[in-house]
Structure 1
Amino acid sequence: MAGPLEGIRVIEIGTLIAAPFAARLMAEFGAEVIKIEAPESGDPLRKWRKLHDGTSLWWYLQSRNKKSICVNLKSEEGIAIVRQLAGQADVLIENMRPGALERLGLGWDTLHALNPKLTMVRISGYGQTGPYRDRPGFGAIGEAMGGIRYTTGEVDGAPARVGISLGDSLASMHGVMGALMSLLRVKTGKGDGQVVDVSLVESVFNLMESLVPEYDMLGHVRERSGGALPGIAPSNTYPTRDDSYIVIAGNSDPIFRRLMEVIGRPDLRDDPALERNDGRAAQCEMLDAAIAAWTSQHDAADVLAALEQAGVPAGRIYSVADIVADPHYQARGMLLDTTLPDGARVKMPGIVPALSETPGSVNWSGPSLGEHTSSVLADLGFAADQIDALRQAGAIQ
């Protein structure tokens, strides 16, 4: 079954996380993604985190369904190949520092003149304009300056990382969203391609809820709150007898009453001062103490069973071991068995979102360096002897 992006060609000039994750999302839903890598070393992600047989397991996930070609962007012949690819592409995704592609002769003005239908997704630390545009930026800096690190961590602790490269991934998703909006405009004949300018900082900032109006109107600075949801009660993380932790969200009025019934506190259930969220938020510490007193007397499985029966949203905090063992993840196809090039089997995350008529698919894991160089160039019209000459000249690998 063809994916919804079947027939869309994407050129990826990116490394590590932000641009490659955006291109991966499009590849999983049928786009032809041609990843341009530097000769010899390729994307540094190939050596990041845990390796299998010398290659990162993250690489196999991040680059699935992509074609890898090795092009030397320091050579005129290599630049000419990229221009030719861009001339036949629908989308180009890059995460170089602003101005880098322009210095290579691959800037927006050049490529747009060559291919007016091209959409160019540009992911950088601070965006293509503004006083910080030339600063280097990684996802961690986007998280710091976008506001999420200031609000993450224990009340009396230092700002904390959320555990993953969240800033990069958020920028990737905003990049794909912008690319699809631009493609819709192009494919419906409403206009030419355009630049999708994505900042790591702004991608995080876009998720920061009512942070700005609360500060601007009320002077309120949202602070770190541990596992609690400030101003919305009760919603927190609670300990269980078997040293586990449960997140309980009892923060709608009827759910709160059901939760108080489960924990044996009809006095709180029927207290007029706790009938609405504003009253509960004013006494959130008391409510959290009452809930924790109950959860700490029971094992996690019993707590979850009682809350599920009462219709109270709750869930145990999962490690990756919990995720892999969970039957719901398995039933939803969120754990895919993948075969690596040496025949080893490994589980990979499934595809999100699930589309009913044109679902995404995984056709192969991350390719070897330059695996598709010859075939992609042949599709562009290069003869075998021309490809050999380019390789001997060091323009490709």
Structure 2
Amino acid sequence: MSGPLKGIRVIEIGTLIAAPFAARMMGEFGAEVIKIEAPVTGDPIRKWRKLYEGTSLWWYLQSRNKKSISINLKSPEGIEIIKRLASNADVLIENLKPGAMEKLGLGWDVLHALNPKLTMVRISGYGQTGPYKDRPGFGAIGEAMGGIRYTTGEPDGAPARVGISLGDSLASLHAVMGALMSILRVKTGQGDGQVVDVSLVESVFNLMESLVPEYDLLGHVRERSGGALPGIAPSNTYPTRDGAYVVVAGNSDPIFKRLMRAIGRDDLADDPHFEHNDGRVTQVGLLDAAIAGWTSANSIETVLATLERANVPAGRIYSVADIIADPHYQARDMILSAELPGGVKIKMPGIVPKLSETPGQVNWQGPALGAHTTEVLTDLGFAEIDIQRLKERGVVQ
């Protein structure tokens, strides 16, 4: 492993999305990630969504660069293995229900005593404190209570969801940020490790812009607005003649003028009422109708080419097929070639962000259940005969 996180050991005790995605990102930048899985079944994501020969394609992506060690956490010997791992780790990431780690004998007081330098990242629905902390919480609930679903969808329709597990992924990003800040504190000698408490609800809420002060001071409740950007005009999704859709963002003052001239509406470009955003917002319907009238009369290629020449931000709404075929994605190494067991070639997403000197990398895809159990236990000092006995007793797989 190489990268800016080389030498950082991460223990992942999590399933499905939030904790595993956070650990995956750290692994892509050089951290040694040891994923703890239950014997026999492993992480449920191994069977989620589309399967290829019995294994989820999502699994191969979500667990790349990770070492899989299968441990029975219901056994005292299994808990002792986790303690030995934590004693020599930098980060432990978990997304169990609050209190579950304590019931296992792996609470913060125990782990901190074993390893004062350890950072414990805890991802849950509502956080480790508060009246809702014991409620079950998934990413979908975080999206609902964090405010984003209320503002998503058509104005006359029901609240909608984004087509991905956004709440979980936002929690993962906050988890990585928190882990890195805590690691920096430890590595620079400013103090010991700490708990990074990440809530799914709060991770979504953190993205909700000026929602709170708008309501508190003005009594304004931001509602669903379809493809438009409320309070900023014009910025919306518009149809084209050939059935495609284009997002056009003409919402700065100079861009608005260039956009209007590009679509042949000099009258609107020169109208002093539309010189600034506050005036444009009051007539957003008129402006959207003008833009949609022009896009509807032209093909997506003509629309994009015209707006590019005018230096107006615009983009076609991409499907996955569009993404894979796009030369810019390819030039940025955002579509990588990978190999599944048996030698099957497959495309996978690239790594974000791009670091100039220590870029991330993919060394292997999601491993078989327990593929690294023997390796990891050997590194911990277990003799071969002891490892075999642990396997025979069902402590490890």
* Short-chain TM bin: over 0.9
The 5 A counterparts of 1:30-41 are 30-41=30-41
| Equivalent pairs, count | 397
Instruction: Provide the identity percentage.
Output: 79
Q: Deviations over 1:33-72 (max 9, x none)?
A: 0000000000000000000110000000000000000000
- Partner of residue 152, structure 2: 152
- Partner of residue 185, structure 1: 185
Question: Does 1:227 pair with 2:224?
Answer: no
Amino acid at match of 1:382: F
Question: Does 1:9 pair with 2:6?
Answer: no
C-alpha distance in 2, partners of 1:363/1:224?
43
Amino acid at match of 2:232: I
Amino acid at match of 1:160: A
Amino acid at match of 2:267: D
State TM-score, norm by structure 2: 1.00
Amino acid at match of 1:249: A
Q: CA deviation at 1:215?
A: 0.3
- Partner of residue 132, structure 2: 132
- Partner of residue 305, structure 2: 305
List structure 1 segments (4+ residues) > 2 angstroms apart after TM superposition.
none
Give the 3-state SS of the residue equivalent to 1:208 in structure 2: coil
- Partner of residue 205, structure 1: 205
Q: CA deviation at 1:2?
A: 2.4
| Structure 2: tracts of 5 or more residues without a match | none
Q: Deviations over 1:9-55 (max 9, x none)?
A: 00000000000000000000000000000000000000000001100
The 5 A counterparts of 1:234-383 are 234-383=234-383
Q: Deviations over 1:80-134 (max 9, x none)?
A: 0000000000000000000000000000000000000000000000000000000
Q: CA deviation at 1:212?
A: 0.3
C-alpha distance in 2, partners of 1:341/1:217?
58
The 5 A counterparts of 1:52-71 are 52-71=52-71
C-alpha distance in 2, partners of 1:176/1:134?
23
C-alpha distance in 2, partners of 1:395/1:162?
40
- Partner of residue 104, structure 2: 104
Q: CA deviation at 1:341?
A: 1.1
- Partner of residue 90, structure 2: 90
C-alpha distance in 1, partners of 2:229/2:283?
13
Give the 3-state SS of the residue equivalent to 1:288 in structure 2: helix
Give the 3-state SS of the residue equivalent to 2:12 in structure 1: strand
Give the 3-state SS of the residue equivalent to 2:11 in structure 1: strand
Amino acid at match of 2:305: A
Amino acid at match of 1:356: S
C-alpha distance in 1, partners of 2:54/2:341?
12
C-alpha distance in 2, partners of 1:74/1:371?
20
- Partner of residue 174, structure 2: 174
Give the 3-state SS of the residue equivalent to 2:173 in structure 1: helix
State TM-score, norm by structure 1: 1.00
Give the 3-state SS of the residue equivalent to 2:371 in structure 1: coil
Give the 3-state SS of the residue equivalent to 1:80 in structure 2: helix
Q: Deviations over 1:349-380 (max 9, x none)?
A: 00000000000000000000000000000000
C-alpha distance in 1, partners of 2:130/2:340?
44
C-alpha distance in 2, partners of 1:340/1:2?
22
Q: CA deviation at 1:394?
A: 1.0
Amino acid at match of 1:204: V
Q: Deviations over 1:270-293 (max 9, x none)?
A: 000000000000000000000000
Q: CA RMSD in A?
A: 0.5
Q: CA deviation at 1:164?
A: 0.4
